[in-house]
Chains A and B, each alone.
Chain A
Amino acid sequence: MAGYRFCVSIMPREGILDPAGKAVEAALPQLHADNVHEVRVGRRVELTVESDSADTARAMVDSLAADFLANPLIENWKIEEIAR
Chain B
Amino acid sequence: MKVAVVVFPGSNCDRDALHAVELAGADGELVWHETTDLHGADAVILPGGFAHGDYLRAGAIARFSPIMGAVRAHAQRGGLLLGICNGFQVLTEAGLLPGVLRRNATLRFEHRWVRLSVERRDTPFTSRVPDGVTLRMPIAHGEGNYWLPDGQLDELEAAGRVAFRYTEPEGNPNGSARDIAGVIDATGRVCGLMPHPERASEALLGSDDGMLLMRSLVESVARVPAAA
Contact = CB atoms under 8 A, between A and B. Distances in A.
B107 A74 contact: no
Contacts of A73: 99-100, 147-149
A71 B103 contact: no
Interface string A19-44: 11011001000000000000000000
A19 B107 contact: yes
Contact of A19 (B64, B99, B104): B104
Contacts of B105: 17, 19
B103 A20 contact: yes
Nearest to A17: B105
B140 interface: no
Contact of B107 (A16, A22, A69): A22
B56 interface: yes
B57 interface: yes
Given A23-B107, A74-B147, A17 B102 contact: yes
Interface residues of A, number: 12
Contacts of A69: 56
A19 B100 contact: no
A17 B145 contact: yes
Given A17-B102, A17-B175, A71 B107 contact: no
B1 interface: no
Contacts of A26: 107
Interface in B93-141: 93, 99-100, 102-107
Contacts of A68: 56, 60, 64
A19 B56 CA distance: 16
Contacts of A16: 102
A74 B100 contact: yes
Of B103, B107, B145, B149, most buried by chain A (CB within 10 Å of CB) is B103
Interface string B168-186: 0000000100000000000
B21 to A, nearest CB: 31
A22 B104 CA distance: 12
A47 B25 CA distance: 48
Given A17-B145, A17-B175, A71 B57 contact: yes
Interface of A: 16-17, 19-20, 22-23, 26, 68-69, 71, 73-74
30 contacts: A16-B102, A17-B103, A17-B105, A17-B145, A17-B175, A19-B102, A19-B103, A19-B104, A19-B105, A19-B106, A19-B107, A20-B103, A22-B107, A23-B107, A26-B107, A68-B56, A68-B60, A68-B64, A69-B56, A71-B57, A71-B60, A71-B93, A71-B100, A73-B100, A73-B147, A73-B148, A73-B149, A74-B100, A74-B102, A74-B147
